[in-house]
Amino acid sequence: MKKIYLDNAATTPVYEEVIAAIAESMRAVFGNPSSTHQYGRTAKAAIENARKKIALQVGATASEIIFTSGGSEADNLILNNAVENLGVTRIITSELEHHAVLNVVKELKNQQKVAVQYVKTNDDGIVDLVDLRALLSSDKNKTLVSLMFVNNEIGTILEVEKIGVICKEYKALFHTDAVQAVGHFDIDLESLAVDFLAASAHKFHGPKGIGFAYFKKGFGVKPMLYGGVQEKGARAGTEAVSLIVGMELALRQSLLNWKRDVSYIYDLKKKFVELLQEEIPLLKFNGASSDLKKTTVTILNVRLPKELPLLLFQLDMLGISVSGGSACQSGSRQGSHVLKSLLSQKHQMHTSLRFSFSKFTRWEDLQYVVGILKEKLSV
């Protein structure tokens, strides 16, 4: 049976060299980084070396990088800190954010009485900058704007530079969940007006269970986890040395041939869009996901002409792995909150699929998938 993996927005296959580096680290660097003997010092050095290299790759300084268990924890740490430690009393976000932001914001509203406002987005999932300015000018209370760099379901790319400038103009703090962007974009935090950023290693061919939060220099960090003084007091718990080493190598490898890989995936997505339009004329693209200027090359979200309730299962039985929405929600019956926000009720009833690509995706596999979709739609 063929095995075709097209769910890279959910997680990516780990580089072989990263697996080898993690295994070697587990064998040779097993000391507790908090221990003062040579084993502990070796582990601590490995962490700090990785921190410096990761910071360099994203245009930050080592002191601005805090290791977390992944993007969700990084978002939680940033949002909670903004309220509890930095005096934020209002958060502006959008209804299209990942639940790692939406659910935290909801809790902060309920528990901390934080005012929450949602900026308008258009049918392509693009943030309305005029509305953002209107919201920021309507209230002088200390505000955090939280908007994702790349939407994990429809692939819309945030106008990060413009929004950073607007936030600076209104003296608002700016947080971006960059889980779908780090490792796929050339990010220079030194030149971007971004105060906080979240990243996760398993989205760029690294291990699961490790990520990082970026806090611009000058912002103190109050921990959510208490117990020890690890991560400069920002996060208690013995550091996952081997995973940190693996994340650094994965990021380095992902950015090593970044332009070449993006060009390859760009061509794949372009040809896939054209083939889908040719073979399944009634198929539609959700948001602007087929627009290669507005969306990431790694994500394409399509809406089929009718409802096929068993399609995901049938594709899986054929060895084709895709998503019906965010993988974080795929086990629920709620459906995609992003598609609910963008589509009419009638169109929500049609089956939507999210295809997400990587440098390991092959054109012949995409051709095969289109043939299977045609076959299923003809039944």
Average pLDDT of the residues in 145-151:
98
Residues 259-277 have a mean pLDDT of 98
Dihedral sign for Cα atoms in the order 93, 99, 100, 104: positive
Q: Are 185 and 174 contacting, i.e. CB atoms less than 8 angstroms apart?
A: no
Evaluate if residue 334 carries a pLDDT over 70. no
Q: Nearest 5 degrees, angle CA 200-CA 156-CA 121?
A: 115
167 is catalytic: no
With beta carbons less than 8 A apart as the criterion, state whether 206 and 246 touch.
yes
Burial class (CB in 10 A: 0-12, 13-18, 19+), 104: buried
- For the residues 56-67, what does the mean pLDDT come to? 98
For 161-202, the DSSP string reads HHHHHHHHHTT-EEEEE-TTTBTTB---TTTS--SEEEEEGG
Cα 289 to chain centroid distance, Å, stands at: 16
What is the C-alpha separation between 265 and 174, in angstroms, rounded? 30
Cα first-last separation, the chain: 22
Give the per-residue pLDDT at 1. 80
Contact 177, 98 (CB under 8 A): yes
Count the Cβ atoms, other than its own, within 10 Å of residue 312: 17
Q: Is the pLDDT of residue 161 over 70?
A: yes
pLDDT for 330 beyond 90: no
Residue 37, sorted as left (phi over 0), alpha (psi -120 to 50) or beta, turns out to be beta
- H-type alpha helices, the chain: 16-28, 38-58, 71-84, 99-112, 129-137, 160-169, 241-256, 258-279, 311-317, 337-342, 345-348, 363-378
Residue 272 has pLDDT above 60, yes or no: yes
Mean pLDDT over the full length of the chain: 95
Cβ atoms of residues 212 and 74 within 8 Å: yes
Q: What does residue 107 show for φ and ψ, rounded to 5 degrees?
A: -65, -40
Per-residue model confidence as pLDDT tens digits over 180-237: 999 999 999 999 999 999 999 999 999 999 999 999 998 989 888 898 889 988 899 9
From the candidates 193, 328, 370, 372, which is the catalytic residue? 328
**Does 331 have pLDDT greater than 60?**
no
Q: Write out pLDDT tens, residues 20-55.
A: 999 999 999 999 999 999 999 999 999 999 999 999
Quick check: 328 pLDDT over 90?
Answer: no
Stretch 2-30: mean pLDDT: 97
pLDDT > 90: percent of the chain = 88
Residues 342 and 338: their CA atoms lie apart, in Å, by 6
Which amino acid type is present at position 346?
A: K
- Confidence class for position 346, pLDDT limits 50, 70, 90: confident
Cβ neighbors of 164 (< 8 A, separation 6 or more) are: 174, 192, 193, 194
Are 199 and 212 contacting, i.e. CB atoms less than 8 angstroms apart? Answer: yes
Q: Could you give the percent of the chain with pLDDT greater than 70? A: 97
Cα pseudo-dihedral 329, 335, 336, 340, rounded to 10: -160
Rounded to 5 degrees, what angle do the CA atoms 351, 354, 360 make? 145
Dihedral sign of CA atoms 265, 268, 273, 276 in order: negative
Residue 146: is its pLDDT beyond 50?
yes
pLDDT of residue 269: 98
Rounded CA separation 164/173 (Å): 9
Q: What are the tokens at 372?
A: 């299977």
C-alpha span between 274 and 280 (Å, rounded): 10
Confidence bin at 325 (pLDDT 50/70/90): low
354 close to 322: Cβ distance less than 8 angstroms = yes
Q: Which domains does the chain have, with CATH numbers?
A: 4-12+257-378 (3.90.1150.10), 16-256 (3.40.640.10)
Identify the CA nearest to 58 among candidates 227, 219, 184, 244: 184
pLDDT at 332 over 50: no
Question: Which residue bears the tokens 């934080």?
Answer: 114
How many residues appear in the chain? 379
Q: In the 8-state DSSP scheme, what is residue 91?
A: E
Flag the least confident range among 98-112, 287-301, 337-351. 337-351
pLDDT at 261 over 50: yes
